[in-house]
Amino acid sequence: MLVVAVLLVTVLMRVAIVCAVAYLLLPPDPLCPHCRSTMLPIRNRVLDRLLPAIQRRWCLECGWNGVVRRGQARPTRTAAPPAHRPTIS
């Protein structure tokens, strides 16, 4: 019986390690991994309830879609308006 318990724990540890590595390999932020634009979240009730740490997103710029880690929204790469605009007279 002890052998079965040790093997079961070993298998569970392998599954945990694989899940942790797969989670760390996902893109960490809501920016597209190809063009660094802001991506839109794709809502999926099943995925949101089963795995709340990840989120499926879609890039408007290049069309990439995939699973990313759910995290804090960061500022996008869109250029800020110029603070000083030279006037032509």
- Chain contacts with Zn ion (rule: CB under 5 A): 32, 34-35, 59, 61-62, 64
Nearer to Zn ion, 32 or 68 (CB): 32
Say how far apart CA 2 and CA 21 lie, in whole Å.
29
CB 43, min distance to Zn ion, A: 19
- The CA-CA-CA angle for residues 85, 88, 89, to 5°, reads 135
Q: Taking a C-beta distance cutoff of 8 angstroms, is the pair 42, 57 a contact?
A: yes
Q: Contact, 74 vs 29, CB < 8 A?
A: yes
Instruction: Give 18 or 58: the residue with its C-beta nearer to Zn ion.
Output: 58
Task: Return the residue matching tokens 């590595």.
Answer: 21
Minimum distance, C-beta of residue 16 to Zn ion, in the bound complex (Å): 32
Q: Which is nearer to Zn ion, 19 or 62 (CB)?
A: 62
Min CB(82)–Zn ion separation in Å = 25
